[in-house]
């Protein structure tokens, strides 16, 4: 598997004057994701508190009867919270590693094709997990507010997609655009894969309703995403897949996304009806074995698919 040992992502990482030591990579990634990156959301929270009063203590922290308004503010929070991650990692590779920002996996060739393909795959992969749950009658339609779902929620669902695009891309930038190729190029490809997957899982360690299966699935998604990015040699596809996965999960099917709800309405509002070990319970399907199965199959397909990697 030349695409694994000689992924184009590693070649891009080596275009700089230096590769960051793993002893710096891990703490920088945690500070970027769990601290500095989240500071960007503070101005939006302040503006919302001024306009609507203090947070209600619920999730999401403010309730809006209009999905459009809810989706707008949810997108604003996601964009402001995660955009700073692009800035921090971008400055690091430019000033310390001495290479252009686009070497993080953002080459222009076939960028749109890769992004659209990844987005479609993200929708399909998560929908496959929902299909497994439906086959065992572990999901059903929730009797929720009609104004928050279906066509009435379409504006909010589309607005929050902007936020998911920024959020998914930011986490992929740090995990698969930076950690994976830098560690993989400096040490071994498999070390880059393992470190990036473990870091990705650990970043979600403080999420609400976290379970053992959820932690395993987060690590499996990290492996799946790393293999996808390595085989494609780009960050466009996996960024789109990650964003589509979260958007479809939270605003198409109406589940919690990694233990959290973000507002914006939902097109189809489903509710888990089976055991938590299968459905994920309050964490969302990412905490259940249906997603485990889909990710394991996805990893196998990437590893053993015989056709040449698409470009």
**Counting Cβ atoms within 10 Å, is residue 286 exposed (0-12), middle (13-18) or buried (19+)?**
buried
User: Which residues lie closer than 8 Å to 196 by C-beta, 6 or more apart?
Assistant: 175, 176, 179, 180, 183, 222, 226
With residue 141 as reference, give the H or E element that holds it: strand 139-141
pLDDT of the residue at 310: 45
Distance of CA 240 to the CA centre of its chain: 9
- If DSSP codes are grouped into helix, strand and coil, which group holds residue 58? coil
- Per-residue pLDDT of 210-219, as tens digits, reads 999 999 999 9
- Per-residue pLDDT of 15-37, as tens digits, reads 999 999 999 999 999 998 888 87
List the pLDDT tens digit at each of the 311 positions of the chain.
789 999 999 999 999 999 999 999 999 999 988 888 778 899 999 999 999 999 887 778 888 889 999 999 999 999 999 999 999 999 999 999 999 999 999 999 999 999 999 999 999 999 999 999 999 999 999 988 898 999 999 999 999 999 999 999 999 999 999 999 999 999 999 999 999 999 999 999 889 999 999 999 999 999 999 999 999 999 999 999 999 999 999 999 999 999 988 889 999 999 999 999 999 999 999 999 999 999 999 999 999 987 654 44
């Amino acid at each position: 598997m030349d695409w694994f040992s000689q992924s184009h992502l590693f070649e891009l990482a080596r275009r700089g004057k230096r590769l960051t030591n793993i002893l710096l990579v891990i703490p920088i990634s945690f500070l970027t994701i769990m601290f500095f990156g989240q500071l960007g959301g503070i101005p939006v929270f302040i503006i919302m508190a001024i306009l609507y009063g203090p947070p209600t203590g619920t999730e999401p922290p403010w309730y809006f009867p209009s999905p459009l308004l809810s989706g707008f503010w949810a997108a604003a929070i996601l964009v402001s919270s995660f955009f700073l991650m692009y800035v921090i990692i971008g400055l690091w590779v430019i000033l310390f590693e001495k290479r252009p920002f686009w070497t993080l996996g953002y080459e222009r060739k076939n960028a749109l094709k890769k992004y659209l393909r990844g987005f479609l795959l993200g929708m399909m992969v998560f929908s496959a997990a929902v299909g497994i749950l439906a086959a065992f009658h572990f999901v059903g339609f929730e009797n929720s507010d009609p104004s928050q779902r279906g066509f009435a929620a379409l504006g909010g669902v589309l607005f929050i997609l902007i936020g998911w695009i920024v959020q998914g891309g930011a986490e992929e930038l740090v995990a698969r655009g930076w950690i994976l190729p830098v560690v993989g190029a400096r040490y071994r490809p498999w070390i880059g894969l393992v470190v990036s997957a473990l870091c990705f899982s650990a970043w979600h360690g403080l999420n609400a309703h976290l379970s053992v299966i959820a932690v395993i699935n987060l690590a499996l998604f990290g492996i799946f995403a790393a293999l996808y990015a390595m085989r494609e040699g780009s960050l466009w596809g996996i960024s789109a897949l990650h964003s589509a996965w979260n958007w479809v999960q939270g605003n198409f099917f109406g589940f919690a996304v990694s233990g959290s709800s973000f507002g914006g309405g939902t097109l189809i509002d489903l509710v888990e009806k089976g055991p938590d070990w299968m459905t994920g319970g309050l964490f969302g399907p990412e905490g259940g074995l249906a997603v485990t199965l889909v990710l394991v199959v996805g990893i196998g397909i990437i590893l053993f698919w015989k056709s040449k990697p698409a470009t």
